[in-house]
Structure 1
Amino acid sequence: MKKLFAAVIATALAGAMALPAPASAASFNMNSGSQERYVQQQCNMHPNLRGCDDWHQNRHHWSKNNYQDWYRWNRPTVGNFASGLFGFVIGAAVANGLNNSNENMSSSHVARCEDAYRSYNSRTDQFLGYDGKYHYCNL
C-alpha cells in the first residue's frame, strides 16, 4: 500500500510540474479595467510574481506599457514546459522503480521463503500464517 501511495504522489507531483506558469499571456488589447482585474487576480493568487509589488503600490498610475511588461515577465516560457517535462520523466521513473521493486528481490530470499512456507506468494512476498492472516516473509 505504501508503494502504491508513493507512486501516486510521485505521478501527481510530476503532473503538477507540467502545468504552465500561473500567469498566462493575456491579450494586449484588453481594456484597462480588464487588465487591472486580470493582474489583480493573478497577483492575489501568486503574490511573488514579478511586478506584483509595484502593481499593488502604483496600480492607479500604470500605463499600457506597464501591463505589457507585466504580461511579458509572467507568461509561460519554453523553460516552464521543459521543467514540467523533466518532472514528468523523473516522476515516471520513480513510479516505475517502485512498481518493479518486487522483481528486485533476491532469488535466495524467495527460495528460503518458499522452503519455509507452503503458502508463500513471491509476487506479494507474503505467506498465510496459522492465525489466518498474511505476513511478510523476513527470512
Structure 2
Amino acid sequence: MRRFTHILTALAVLGSGVATFSAPAEAQSYRQQQRYVERFCARNPGARDCREFRRDARRWDNRRYQRWYRDNERRDRRDAATAAIFGLAAGAALGAAASSGGNSQAARCAQRYRTYDPRTNTYVANSAGERRVCRL
C-alpha cells in the first residue's frame, strides 16, 4: 500500500508539469491571436516579446505572431520537461525518505522489545502484560 501511495504521489507531481494546449496558431483569428499574446504577457510581464507587443501590437502581423507562437510552444515544452524531471526526482526523494523512516523505527523497536509486532507497531509490556504502542 505504501509503494502504491508513493507511485501515486510521484505521478501527481509529474502530472503537475504537463503543458496546456490551445488551438493551432494557424486556426486563430487576428483578435484571438492578440488575446492569446495579452494573456501570455499578463502572466509573464517581463518577457522581451511582451515589451515589443505592448509598444506596437498593431505591427504584429500573422508572420510575426506565428514565429512568436512557435518559439513560445518550444519554451512551454522545455518548461514542462524540466518540471517533470524535477517532479520525478522530488517524488523519488520523498518516497525514499518515507520508506527508510518507517523501517528504521521498526528496526529500533524490534531491537529493544523481543515481543514487538511490526504489523501493529506494538509490544507486550513486562509490568502489566498488555500491548503498548512503540514510540521510539
TM-score grouping bracket, smaller chain normalisation: 0.5 to 0.7
1:110 and 1:44, CA in 2 relative to 1: closer, same or farther beyond 3 A? Answer: same
In the alignment, the residues of structure 2 paired with residue 126 and residue 58 of structure 1 have an alpha-carbon distance, to the nearest angstrom, of 72
TM-score (norm 1): 0.60
Equivalent positions of 1:1-139 (< 5 A) are: 13-17=13-17, 19-20=18-19, 26-76=24-74, 79-101=78-100, 102-105=102-105, 107=107, 109-114=108-113, 122=118, 136-137=135-136
Structure with the bigger RCO (C-alpha within 8 Å, sep 6+) is 1
TM-score (norm 2): 0.61
Unaligned runs of 5+ in 1: 1-7, 128-132
Q: Which has the higher helix share?
A: 2
Unaligned runs of 5+ in 2: 1-7, 124-131
Asked if structure 1 preserves the Cα contact closer than 8 Å seen for 2:14 and 2:88, the reply is yes
Shift of residue 76 of structure 1? 4.1
Shift of residue 114 of structure 1? 1.9
Count of matched residue positions in the alignment of Structure 1 and Structure 2? 125
* Percent identical: 23
Asked if structure 2 preserves the Cα contact closer than 8 Å seen for 1:126 and 1:134, the reply is yes
